[in-house]
A = this chain, B = another copy of it.
Amino acid sequence: MKPLGPIPAGYRAIDGELAIAGRKVSDLVAEAGETPLFVHSGDLIAQRFSDLRAAMPDRLKINYAIKANSFAPVLKLVSTLADGLDIASGGELDMVRSADFDLSRVSFAGPGKRDAELHAAIAAGVTLNLESENEARRALAIAEGLGVTPRLAIRVNPDFELKGSGMKMGGGAKPFGVDAARVPALAREIVEAGCDWRGLHIFTGSQALSADAVIEMQGKVLDCAHRLAGEAGMAIPKLNMGGGFGIPYFAGDEPLDIGSVGAALADRFAALPDTLQDAEMFIELGRYLVGEAGVYLTRILDRKDSYGETYLVTDGGLHHQLAASGNFGTVVRRNYPVAIATRFDTEPQEEANVVGCLCTPLDRLADKAHLPKADVGDLVAVFCAGAYGASASPSAFLGQGQAREVLI
């Protein structure tokens, strides 16, 4: 048997079935018409924002990195809750435009920005998080051609990393940002060129569950920003401190203690150096804001036995849930939180493998899981599906196509 990840808070059973925001999954599927179906709970997203704001110092602003989930209704909702949006491509710029979001509160990071993307972003008044000296010069030239003052920040490749993070994005050679040592010179160069100087973006990693690690990282980010501002001889108008707040996916994972993180950050904010005194302070979160508010529902099409093992074959799979299948950024496959949604209050009765409908052995949603005895027609829920699910999976694989998706 292999353990399942922990089911996030906020889900319960009604009439024995999983309910999302008070609605039974069978009703939600009937309404949507078909499985596979992503269901996102607006209540849980709003709750997450309010819990986070309560824990963090008032001064801290919260940006949403739309790459985590850019499903239009989710984006529209989050755009009313977040202080700013972070995009990573021209395609995402179009999405935030469609959500009628104030583009002056949007910033654009990404190591490979095309000229057309720089052009569109600068024209729209979006802040560019510059990833290199070359990109800075391209941006300045494009802005000059447009006759506008570009809003420019520098993404720093810091000389430290977020410890225990799922994905390290700082500390040593990286394709992201400008090595810290070269940042002061570049800051002076772009300020002299007449840009609207928007400060620094320091992103060190993602998916950390240790409050101590996040606190240490945030402290180093503030120290780094102060040091770079001093070396550049200019204050920092805006500091994007990065993200890194993780959510529990796997057995043994504990939720991040945001109370401790917020308290430590309040202490630091109470004693900021001159260089950061007037800085707007941001964190940039994606997964943490929406990940646990989404559930992927798929129906069991077959129950079969092979050499004594039970396989529950579903109509979903890795084409919608690549990360849950263990094929995206993980070395060892571990089980996400998965449940038989139509038997949500039934105790586990057997060991079963939940697989997708694809003709590949990679397509596993749960391995040797302890589950209630399920049969054809039952619904399976994969939790933590609100971030990097639909948009980060190969939906065209084997001609399957996209899942349905609803915000309730």
Which residue of B has the minimal Cβ distance to A169?
B361
Closest CB-CB distance, A203 to chain B, in whole Å? 9
Partner of A92, one of B302, B304, B360, B398: B398
Given A131-B302, A315-B114, A391-B394: A173 and B89 interface contact (C-beta under 8 Å)? no
A87, A307, A308 pick with most chain B CB within 10 angstroms:
A307
Q: A112-B301, A357-B113, A392-B394 are in contact. Are A399 and B70 (CB under 8 A)?
A: yes
| Most B-side CB within 10 Å, residue of A328, A331, A397 | A397
Task: Please judge, given known A-B contacts A315-B112, A399-B70, whether A329 and B362 are in contact too, CB under 8 Å.
Answer: yes
**Beyond A88-B358, A307-B179, A314-B112, is A132–B302 a contact (Cβ under 8 Å)?**
yes
Q: What are 12 A-B pairs with beta-carbon distances under 8 A?
A: A67-B359, A88-B399, A111-B313, A112-B355, A114-B301, A175-B353, A175-B355, A176-B361, A179-B305, A322-B394, A331-B331, A394-B394
Is A174 located at the chain interface by the 8 A CB criterion? yes
Q: Which residues of B contact A70 (CB under 8 A)?
A: 399
In the bound complex, how far is the Cα of B400 from the Cα of A391, in angstroms?
Answer: 10
Are the C-beta atoms of B361 and A168 separated by less than 8 Å? yes
Within the complex, what minimum Cβ distance (angstroms) separates A284 from chain B? 11
Chain A interface residue number, banded: 35 or more
A397 to B391, CA, bound (A): 5
Q: Is A167 an interface residue (CB 8 A)?
A: yes
| A307 and B173 contact, CB distance less than 8 A | yes
* Distance, CA A187 to CA B309, complexed state (A): 22
Contact between chains at B376 and A306 (CB < 8 Å)? no
Neighbouring B residues of A329 by C-beta, 8 Å = 327, 360, 362
Question: Which residues of A are interface residues toward B (Cβ below 8 A)?
Answer: 66-67, 70, 87-95, 109-114, 131-135, 157, 167-169, 172-176, 179, 301-309, 311, 313-315, 317, 322, 327-329, 331, 353, 355-362, 376, 390-401
Given contacts A110-B398, A112-B301, A175-B313, 6 further A-B contacts (CB under 8 A): A88-B399, A111-B355, A111-B359, A113-B357, A167-B360, A175-B361
Contacts A91-B398, A111-B355, A327-B329; is A172 near B307 (CB within 8 Å)? Answer: yes
User: Given the complex, which residues of B lie within 8 Å of A311, measured CB to CB?
Assistant: 111, 173, 175
Partner of A398, one of B88, B305, B355: B88
Distance of A214 Cα from B302 Cα, bound (Å): 31
Task: Let me know if B67 and A398 touch, CB within 8 A.
Answer: yes
Q: Is the CB of B306 within 8 A of A175?
A: yes
Please, which residue of chain B has its CB at the minimum distance from the CB of A133?
A: B304
Residues of chain B within 8 A of A331, CB atoms compared:
331
Assembled-state Cα–Cα distance A376/B138 (Å): 12
Contact (Cβ within 8 A) B67 A399 = yes
CB pair B328 A362 closer than 8 Å: yes
CB distance from A204 to the nearest CB of B (A): 11
Contact B357 A112 (CB under 8 A): yes
User: In the complex, what residues of B have CB within 8 A of residue A396's CB?
Assistant: 390-391, 395
When the two chains form their complex, are residues A89 and B400 in contact, meaning their CB atoms are under 8 A apart? yes
User: What's the Cα separation between A266 and B393 when bound, in Å?
Assistant: 42
Cross-chain contact A174 with B392 (CB below 8 angstroms): no
What are the residues of chain B within 8 A of A401 when measuring CB–CB?
Answer: 91
Our pick among B176, B314, B361 for the contact of A359 (Cβ within 8 Å) is: B176
Residues in chain B near residue A361, CB distance under 8 A = 167-169, 174-176
* Docked-complex contact B357 and A306, CB < 8 angstroms: no
Contact for A110 among B157, B359, B362, CB less than 8 A: B359
B306 touches A95 (CB 8 A): no
Kindly list chain B residues whose C-beta atoms are within 8 Å of the C-beta of A172: 306-307
Asked whether A306 and B174 contact (CB < 8 A) given A314-B112, A327-B327, A359-B111, the answer is yes
Q: Which B residue sits closest to A177, measured CB to CB?
A: B306
Is B135 within 8 A of A302, CB to CB?
Answer: yes
Smallest Cβ-Cβ distance to A312: which chain B residue: B175
